[in-house]
Structure 1
């Protein structure tokens, strides 16, 4: 993850297109937002758009906007994402799922910086910086004939691979502590520590849902915890993902681990200033 953050810091100093690769829930949108907030475009819009499971017509309307009367139900003129992101950043999530027609239209904007709203022939321009994300290799999609080579080359200025949480287990205590602090404030709780057995249960989990699953799990255990210490029974996973409790060697009498312990809760650098 350290290498990924170093590359993200370089990306923040430039306007090169960025491709973020990683499994679902690894924090691709969060990292893209952090790059934007650390760049010279920080004061401009960050517009996110999920490109998966959307028809070509709707995608075109969403990305480029439409004029009133352009299609049935178009009762007013609407700006598209490229227009809204002008001088800022446009983040295209799940870009590998875009249809061939949508890929052609995106390529045109990247090549010429021009587009038209649906129902209009007037050319509009946008100098939005493009960042995109995928949970699969774009190069592999090109080999499969499912993604345009020329679009891939346009987008592939800098590629960042975000490792899954199961490969970053050393970060778990800090991430858990940070999530727990935030969840405690949100739920009006005063949770100050995690029992060692509860922490071990969290550390033995493989986290197939990555950061998204971690956030949901911590939020749930915060709801179940009515005292100041998170206990093992407060840590709940879906039945098919429960770790083997028989392997737990933690002492039931062990002292709870404080949430505000520096070892558990270092500053998490989301602004990339320390990368």
Structure 2
């Protein structure tokens, strides 16, 4: 299955429940206020967020009059694409080791995302190291080790309950001594001790910068797409504590709320860099706004 088909299949629930209706709404009707109202309702129900939905509708109304297009669906797609910030992850980094810090609450699929991201980097010719920094969960350490064995990627891990910053420190020094290209660092995600968690993330970052002053080069927040607007609340907490460079939205195949990408961009002003559209190793996809919007609106190019 090609990249676009994977994304299209992953967004099937959102398309079937919400966006698939847009083609029907446009069919044989002029873009009047009734149609625009129906459109806005679909967008808000898909978790696109009130602000993003209103903004897109306003632009559609304005440009439809100006451009006098005979295909409002394509015009809507273009406006939706423009609404999504696109800053792709660097797959062939010049800085080595290139350090990626991955944060997020437990249950978002963080550790699995790290494994899948490691696979993407390895397939692009990079030597990768995993740092098992979620030391509060013995299962997370074992899970990452298992992925490392499966993918042929070195995992630097300490015992359960040890200092996460020390794990990051050792992983970076290992990467430097072995001339590795990419280090991906897992972190704890216990939201019930929010202040402790955020202090720990700040400490990990300080330790990383002692070894490599301009690192981490990416700080990715993993959000569970099925949590919708709650995910944005989580993201704001992380954003206050640590500089985030990108978002990974997981489990989009399990929700009809695939419009959440727009709300994330609108409210957080942080680009989405990857999306998870399934449980298989290859189901973490680089985020492409064009493909995403085409898949939502069922447009084949």
Question: Normalising to structure 1: TM-score of the pair?
Answer: 0.27
Higher relative contact order (Cα pairs below 8 Å, separated by 6+ residues): 2
Larger radius of gyration: 1
Question: Normalising to structure 2: TM-score of the pair?
Answer: 0.26
